Amino acid sequence: MSQSEDPYEDLKITTGAVVEPNTSRVNKTGSWRQFKPVIDAETCIACGQCDTFCPDQAAKPVEGEDFYAFDLDYCKGCGICEEVCPVDAIDMIREVK
């Protein structure tokens, strides 16, 4: 086959998708999350690991306090925050609807 031949030339289906670029801060979770993070404010040392590793930027420091909180509008419930917390201050609990 020469380089000028396109093996997909006759393909009549659309492949891929064109999606408006944005961040996970634009895409709210909705009602499908199965687990949500619950933080023990007394145990949290405000190290920021949850914020650093959260793929949805849902963990944020509480202003004027020494702990973090989660914006559940954007949290997908993946549990990465629980895994990276060095003091086990985060528990993933089943979401009750």
Cα–Cα separations (whole angstroms), residue 27 to 73, 80, 96: 9, 18, 21
- Which residue ranges make up each domain of the chain? 1-97
What digits encode the pLDDT tens for the residues 10-67? Answer: 766 666 666 566 666 667 777 778 999 999 999 999 999 999 999 988 999 999 999 9
Rounded CA gap, 32 and 50, in Å? 21
Question: Span 1-97: which CATH code?
Answer: 3.30.70.20
**pLDDT tens-digit map of 64-81:** 999 999 999 989 999 999
